[in-house]
C-alpha cells in the first residue's frame, strides 16, 4: 500500500485533536487526523462532566500554570464557537459551597483572588438565601459562593461538530487507524499504523490517555503522566429539578471533588470520585459508585439510587504532582523537532479552543507558513432535535421528510429522521447514533429502541444486522438471526 502523505498529522480525534484540526482548517494546510476508534470523541472526552470552567472554581488555577493560561485564552472563544457550530452551550452558573463555617475564610480568600485577577466578583450566599436559589440542597451546607459564568457543553457533541466542520473545510479523517510506531528523520516522520504508513512533516500527538506512549515511540516523551480514574454517575431526567446550577463543595484537598452538574440534555451528573489506577480499565466499581452517591447525597439528600440510570469512568492524565496536581503539556518536544505533544488533565474541554490556538502559534513560530483559506466556512448546522420543536416546526419537518414523524426512541422522543441524519454525518454504530441524537440515553437505556436503531443502521449502511456493532470491533449485538439460532439449536439437539 503506498504511504499516505500529509503536511500535518494529528494523532487522536478527542476534543484536543478535533479543536486543533478545526483551527488548522482555517488555513491552506494539508491536515490528516488518525483515530483508532470507529468514531470521534470516544477517548477521555466521552467520560467527562462537560463543565466549561472559568478558572476560578478551584484553588488550582494559578496564573503561572500553563493550563490556566490556555483556559483564559479559551474563555472568550467557547460560547461563539458553540454558536457557530450549533452545539448546545448552557450557562448554568455554580455554587462553591462549604459544610463547615471554619472554611468560610478560605472561600473569602478565593473570592478576593478571583476579583484581583479581574475575573469578576462572586457573591456569597449563606444557607437560607442559597436554599431559595437551590431548594434541594442539604441543610448541612453553611453557604456558597456564586459563579454566574460557569457553563456546560456536551463534550462529545462538540468534538463531533468540530470534526464535521474541519472535514468540511478539507481536513482528512482516518477512523479505525491506530498508530503503532513512529520513525523520524531530518524532514519527515514515518508513522506506522494498522492501515499502512503515513508520512508527515509535523506530528501533533493528541492521543489522550496514550499521549506519553505515543511520544515515547519517537523519543519525545519529555514529561511523565499519572493516570487518575474518575467515576461519574448519571441521574434520570426526572431529577432535573434537584439542581439548576453546578453544585460543588470546596475541595479540602487537591483532587477532593464532589459535584452535581446539570447537563445540556437535562440529566444530572454526580461524582467525581478519583482513584489512582491502571490506565484503560474503564470499569465502574460498586465501591466508587457507593462513595460518589454518598457524597452527592451530602449535597442533595433527595438523590436516590433508584434514579441512577448509568455511570462511567474516565482518566485524568495528571502531569506531575510537584508542579500542580494536573499541569498540562502543550508544546513542541525539546528533543524531537516538529513533534508537538498535547495533553491537559483538567480542564481539557474548557481549554481546548485555547490549546488549539496555541498549537497554531507553535507551528507558525517554527516557520510553517500558514496562509488563511478564503474558502473556510466556520458554520455547521445541527441535526434538528424533534423533542424540542414546537408543533408547527414538527409538522413542517415531517412534511419535508416523513421519517421525522416516526418516533423510534420513546424515552427521549428521537425520530427515524434524526437517526438517519446522524448516520449520514458519520455514525456507523449504535453508540455513534446515541452520541449524536440520543436514542438509548433515557431510562430504558436502549432496551426498547436498540433493535430498531440496529435495523435502521443496517438498512442505511447496506449491511446485515449481524454486522452492526455497539461501538466497533467485536461489539456486535445480534450474533445470529433467530432462524439461524433455531437451526443451530436444532442441530445441537
Ligand X SMILES: Cc1cc2nc3c(=O)[nH]c(=O)nc-3n(C[C@H](O)[C@H](O)[C@H](O)COP(=O)(O)OP(=O)(O)OC[C@H]3O[C@@H](n4cnc5c(N)ncnc54)[C@H](O)[C@@H]3O)c2cc1C
Closest CA relative to residue 13, chosen from 154, 153, 155: 155
The residue written with cell numbers 433493535 in the block is: 451
197 binding ligand X? (CB under 6 A) = no
- Segment near ligand X (CB under 6 A); pick from 2-10, 34-42, 433-441, 476-484: 34-42
Give the CA dihedral 480, 482, 483, 484, nearest 10 degrees. 20
Does residue 121 contact residue 110 with C-beta atoms inside 8 Å? no
16 binding ligand X? (CB under 6 A) = yes
Give the CA count within 13 Å in the CB-facing half-sphere of 427.
29
Task: Identify which of residues 433 and 456 has a Cβ nearer to ligand X in the complex.
Answer: 433
Task: Identify which of residues 314 and 446 has a Cβ nearer to ligand X in the complex.
Answer: 314
To the nearest whole angstrom, how small is the minimum distance from the Cβ of residue 104 to ligand X? 26
Phi, psi angle pair for 366, to nearest 5°: -80, -5
Other CB atoms within 10 A of residue 465 CB = 15
To the nearest whole angstrom, how small is the minimum distance from the Cβ of residue 286 to ligand X? 18
440 binding ligand X? (CB under 6 A) = no
Which of 70, 141, 179, 457: binder of ligand X (CB under 6 A)? 179
Which of 210, 325, 386, 435: binder of ligand X (CB under 6 A)? 210
To the nearest whole angstrom, how small is the minimum distance from the Cβ of residue 299 to ligand X? 16
**Backbone CA torsion sign across 82, 157, 55, 105:** positive
58 binding ligand X? (CB under 6 A) = no
For the window 135-154, what string marks contact with ligand X as x by the rule CB under 6 A?
--------------------
Which of 6, 20, 25, 45: binder of ligand X (CB under 6 A)? 45
Q: With CB under 6 A, what is the number of residues at the site for ligand X?
A: 42
158 binding ligand X? (CB under 6 A) = no
Which of 31, 44, 162, 243: binder of ligand X (CB under 6 A)? 44
Residues 244-303 that bind ligand X (CB under 6 A): 272
| Cα-trace Rg, the chain | 23
| Pairwise CA distance, residues 46 & 154, whole Å | 9
- Segment near ligand X (CB under 6 A); pick from 7-15, 62-70, 241-249, 391-399: 7-15
For the window 336-355, what string marks contact with ligand X as x by the rule CB under 6 A?
-------xx-xxxxx-----
207 binding ligand X? (CB under 6 A) = yes
| Pairwise CA distance, residues 242 & 267, whole Å | 10
**Inter-CA distances, 94 with 46, 368, 387, Å:** 22, 42, 27
The total number of residues written for the chain in this structure: 493
Does residue 467 contact residue 476 with C-beta atoms inside 8 Å? yes
* DSSP state, residue 395: H
Closest CA relative to residue 263, chosen from 233, 291, 294: 233
User: 450-461 and 416-424 helices cross at what angle (nearest 10)?
Assistant: 50
Task: Identify which of residues 228 and 456 has a Cβ nearer to ligand X in the complex.
Answer: 228
C-alpha cell at 233: 454517575
439 binding ligand X? (CB under 6 A) = no
- Segment near ligand X (CB under 6 A); pick from 29-37, 357-365, 387-395, 423-431: 29-37
Binding site for ligand X (CB under 6 A): 11-17, 34-37, 42-45, 47-51, 53, 178-179, 206-210, 214, 230, 232, 272, 314-316, 343-344, 346-350
Amino acid at each position: 500500500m503506498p504511504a499516505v502523505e500529509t503536511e500535518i498529522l494529528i494523532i487522536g480525534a478527542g476534543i484536543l485533536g478535533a479543536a486543533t484540526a478545526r483551527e488548522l482548517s482555517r488555513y491552506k494546510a494539508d491536515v490528516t487526523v488518525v483515530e483508532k476508534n470507529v468514531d470521534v470523541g470516544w477517548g477521555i472526552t466521552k467520560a467527562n462532566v462537560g463543565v466549561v470552567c472559568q478558572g476560578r472554581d478551584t484553588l488550582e488555577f494559578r496564573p503561572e500554570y500553563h493550563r490556566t493560561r490556555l483556559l483564559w485564552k479559551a474563555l472568550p472563544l467557547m460560547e461563539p464557537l458553540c454558536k457557530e457550530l450549533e452545539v448546545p452551550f448552557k450557562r448554568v452558573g455554580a455554587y462553591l459551597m462549604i459544610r463547615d463555617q471554619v472554611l468560610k475564610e478560605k472561600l473569602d480568600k478565593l473570592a478576593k483572588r478571583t476579583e484581583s485577577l479581574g475575573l469578576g466578583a462572586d457573591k456569597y450566599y449563606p444557607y437560607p438565601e442559597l436554599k431559595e436559589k437551590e431548594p434541594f440542597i442539604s441543610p448541612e451546607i453553611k453557604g456558597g459562593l456564586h459563579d454566574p459564568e460557569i457553563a456546560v457543553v456536551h463534550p462529545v457533541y462538540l468534538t463531533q461538530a468540530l470534526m464535521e466542520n474541519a472535514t468540511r473545510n478539507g481536513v482528512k479523517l482516518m477512523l479505525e487507524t491506530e498508530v503503532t510506531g513512529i520513525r523520524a528523520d531530518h524532514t519527515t516522520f514515518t508513522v506506522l499504523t494498522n492501515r499502512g504508513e503515513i508520512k508527515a512533516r509535523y506530528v501533533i500527538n493528541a492521543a489522550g490517555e496514550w499521549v506519553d506512549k505515543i511520544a515515547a515511540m519517537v523519543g519525545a516523551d519529555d514529561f511523565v503522566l499519572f493516570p487518575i480514574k474518575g467515576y461519574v454517575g448519571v441521574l434520570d431526567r426526572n431529577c432535573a429539578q434537584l439542581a439548576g446550577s453546578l453544585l460543588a463543595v470546596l475541595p479540602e484537598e487537591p483532587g477532593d471533588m464532589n459535584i452535581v452538574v446539570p447537563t445540556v440534555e437535562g440529566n444530572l451528573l454526580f461524582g467525581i470520585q478519583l482513584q489512582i489506577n491502571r490506565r484503560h480499565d474503564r470499569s465502574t466499581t460498586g465501591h466508587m459508585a457507593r462513595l460518589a452517591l454518598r457524597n452527592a447525597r451530602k449535597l442533595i439528600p433527595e438523590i436516590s439510587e433508584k434514579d441512577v440510570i448509568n455511570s462511567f469512568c474516565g482518566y485524568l492524565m495528571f502531569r506531575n504532582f510537584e508542579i500542580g496536581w494536573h499541569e498540562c503539556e502543550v508544546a513542541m518536544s525539546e528533543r524531537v523537532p516538529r513533534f508537538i505533544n498535547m495533553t491537559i488533565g483538567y480542564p481539557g474541554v474548557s481549554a481546548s479552543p485555547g490549546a488549539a490556538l496555541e498549537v497554531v502559534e507553535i507551528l507558525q513560530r517554527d516557520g510553517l507558513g500558514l496562509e488563511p483559506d478564503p474558502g473556510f466556512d466556520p458554520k455547521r448546522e445541527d441535526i434538528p432535535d424533534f423533542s424540542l420543536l414546537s408543533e408547527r416546526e414538527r409538522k413542517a419537518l415531517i412534511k419535508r421528510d416523513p421519517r421525522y414523524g416516526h418516533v423510534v426512541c420513546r424515552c427521549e422522543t428521537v425520530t427515524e429522521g434524526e437517526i438517519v441524519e446522524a448516520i449520514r454525518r458519520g455514525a456507523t454504530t449504535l453508540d455513534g447514533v446515541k452520541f449524536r441524537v440520543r436514542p438509548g440515553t433515557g431510562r430504558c437505556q436502549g432496551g426498547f429502541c436498540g433493535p430498531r436503531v440496529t435495523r435502521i443502521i443496517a438498512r442505511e449502511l447496506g449491511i446485515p444486522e449481524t454486522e452492526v456493532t455497539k461501538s466497533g470491533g467485536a461489539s456486535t449485538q445480534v450474533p445470529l438471526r433467530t432462524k439461524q439460532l433455531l437451526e443451530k439449536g436444532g442441530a445441537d439437539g
